[in-house]
Amino acid sequence: MRKLIKTSAGWIHTTLILSILIPLLYALCIQDQTAAGPYLYLKCLVILFPVVATDLAADKCRNLFTYLLLCTLILTTTGLLAWMLAGSLRGCLLFWGYFLLLLCESLFVITARLTARLQKKKDREAAFEADPSFQPFSDILKEPAFPVLFYFAGVYAIAINVNNPPVCNVALFSAVLYTVVTFLYQYVTKSERYLSLNKRTCNLPSKRIYGIGSGMLAIYLLLLMILALPSLFTIPHRQYRDLRELTSDLEIPYTEFMPENNTEDRSEDFIAALIAEYGDAAPAPWWLDYIFYITSAIMLMLLSLVLLKKIYIVFQDFRTAKDENGDTVEELQDTIENPQKIVRTLRQRPASEKEKIRREYRRVIRRHRKDRPAVYESPAEIEANAKIPPTKEALELHRQYESARYGQD
């Protein structure tokens, strides 16, 4: 349930921020409020589809090619939805603004998801190496924060000064909903962080902590609703102005200048005289063209190689190669009863001694423990949480794994 709250809060957070941009731009560029239609904001809520779909694709896809293929389908589907929902906008210039801006927002979401996915591996490696300067990556599409309320306040201030009541109402209701969502997200996140930092405390009353926190959250939300009621009741009495009309009424005096009497004799052209004196420019040597073409080809090849190398690095970074303990991630399969059926190719590299120890250690831990060990757990803590008895074989495996994990390659 807590994971669902955090995920849904991230979706609502991104949707509220992006969906109000198109109505705001229309309010700034168009003075006629009826030209865009009263339901423009509802049409912009279609951005929820790429927000949700790209989040699921980034979590489920195993490689970059699959993610890009799904994002292409998502972008196409978003364009079709925008075409169907355009309604009265279709057939005029406003439709293309709505259509292109919605696609640009979808591309921004796709790029942000890809950046967050690629950053996960670097964060995991930095946390494993206990880097003191490590700062976890902040995903702007998944973390609602209270400073974003200034964004809605700015939209409200702009809309009230360009005489656009629909955008003012949308900004007000979005700010109220965003505050509720942020309270829920911060409550779940802070509670989970507190419990994770104190999970070694004996008999920690987690249910009681969540119960008290839920009660306090309900009180905060009730106070928020009470504070928001005056703003809702004063909507009909809101005072609007249009600052664009103030600048249109200004009259700029123009001074008429009399043309100057030009008595200069222009019968002789200076450029023509200069060309006649020095003649036409000599053509460039033929070998200079070949040097230019060869240099351009070499530069194009170098740029192509650099681009291909960057793409290769992105493909390598997209797939996580290590887990929290630094072990190589492998696909878990059922144990084969008949080992003689395994066919090894000549190109397969035999496993090293350290890899065999790591595999045996993971196999033993997974046999006694269902959850995955945390990043900060040492081998002794992993075995204690797995409740492995301190037998002679277990102690020997512990010693070998510590040597394989912390020893020099």
* 321: amino acid identity, one letter: A
Confidence of residue 214 (pLDDT cuts 50, 70, 90): confident
Q: How far does CA 324 lie from the centroid of its chain?
A: 23
- Domain residue limits, the chain: 2-247, 352-406
DSSP string, 313-324: HHHHHHS--B-T
The C-alpha atoms of residue 124 and residue 322 are separated, in whole angstroms, by 8
Q: At what angle do helices 93-128 and 64-85 cross, to 10 degrees?
A: 150
Average pLDDT, the chain: 76
Task: Using the predicted structure, report yes or no on whether residue 396 has a pLDDT greater than 80.
Answer: yes
pLDDT tens digits along 338-357: 545 544 544 455 667 888 88
The C-alpha atoms of residue 18 and residue 340 are separated, in whole angstroms, by 58
pLDDT tens digits along 189-202: 888 888 877 777 76
* Range 321-339 average pLDDT: 49
Task: Using the predicted structure, report yes or no on whether residue 409 has a pLDDT greater than 60.
Answer: no
- In this structure, of 178-182, 233-237, 361-365, the range with the lowest mean pLDDT score is 233-237
Task: Using the predicted structure, report yes or no on whether residue 331 has a pLDDT greater than 50.
Answer: no
pLDDT tens digits along 35-66: 666 688 888 899 999 999 999 998 888 888 88
At 258 the pLDDT is 47
Higher local confidence (pLDDT), 381 or 260: 381
Measured in degrees and rounded to the nearest 5, phi and psi for residue 305 equal -65, -40
* Range 334-338 average pLDDT: 50
pLDDT tens digits along 269-318: 555 555 555 555 555 565 656 676 677 677 767 766 766 776 666 556 55
DSSP string, 221-288: HHHHHHHHHHHHHTGGG----BHHHHHHT-----PPPPPP------SS-HHHHHHHHH-SPPPPPHHH
